[in-house]
Amino acid sequence: MPRLAKYVLAALCVAALFPLALVARSRSIQSPKTRLHVVYDMDQQPKYKPQAASPLFADGRAMRPPVPGTIARGELELDAHYFAGKIGGEWADAFPIKLTAALLRRGQERYNIFCSPCHGMAGYGDGMVAKRADEIAAGKWVPPASLHSDVVRGRPVGHLFNTITNGIRNMPAYGAQIPVSDRWAIVAYVRALQRSQHARIEDVPQPETGRIKEE
């Protein structure tokens, strides 16, 4: 083989290693530059991240505040009975939804998740959080109210709904965590709990009354 051909072949072999060397280098170092993308997909998008600055607006903010006087689609809450628990500005005594067995089961499930840690499974204010706070003698701990007290039983269902939505005294608001329909389901279940602990013989179906009296 001619000497020139050998030199050319050696140069080509060395040149062939350059792409591999560049790939290895790019994988081992950090760079502010974006990698080469043959297919962009959605890796690179013309977008702003939360709290980022933008020269497009006069205030320099990319995140825009709500337009004054506007309401987002689906958030127009005209029914004060359903969304606020009030009728004519007063706490409602009636439910704005139909009470069913499925609704009570849903209310029991949501109550056990959100309410029972403090109020207890039966509603006497003896939940796990309350018991633990009593054990460690938490200085600023205020025991949760019993749902079976005369005060709480005497409150309208709209008041109970508002308590879940906005909180009361030391109880925090749960409006952000619990949808409106689930709040009403919880209120319905609380009423069922209260009735179960203050039931009268008149509440028992007639066919069962005789059997209970005999027992």
Encode pLDDT of 98-147 as tens digits: 999 999 999 999 999 999 999 999 999 888 988 888 778 766 777 888 99
3-state secondary structure of 192: helix
Whether pLDDT at 33 is above 80? no
Average pLDDT over residues 188-201: 88
Q: How far apart are CA 24 and CA 19, in angstroms?
A: 9
The Cα 90–Cα 81 span in angstroms is 10
Q: In the predicted model, is pLDDT for residue 215 greater than 70?
A: no
User: Whose structure tokens read 């069962």?
Assistant: 208
Task: State CA 81 to chain mean position distance.
Answer: 23
pLDDT: is 93 or 26 the higher one?
Answer: 93
- Mean pLDDT computed over 12-38: 78
Q: Residue 197 corresponds to which amino acid?
A: Q
What is the reported pLDDT for 186? Answer: 97
Rounded (to 5) percent helix, strand, coil in the chain: 45, 5, 50
- pLDDT over 70 (residue 161): yes
- pLDDT for position 35: 66
Whole-number pLDDT of residue 198: 83
162 CB-contact burial (10 Å; exposed 0-12 / middle 13-18 / buried 19+): buried
Instruction: Give the orientation angle of helix 180-197 with respect to helix 101-114, to 10 degrees.
Output: 90
Does 2 or 13 have the greater pLDDT score?
A: 13
The pLDDT assigned to 20 comes to 84
90 strand-pairing partners: 87
pLDDT at 92 over 80: yes
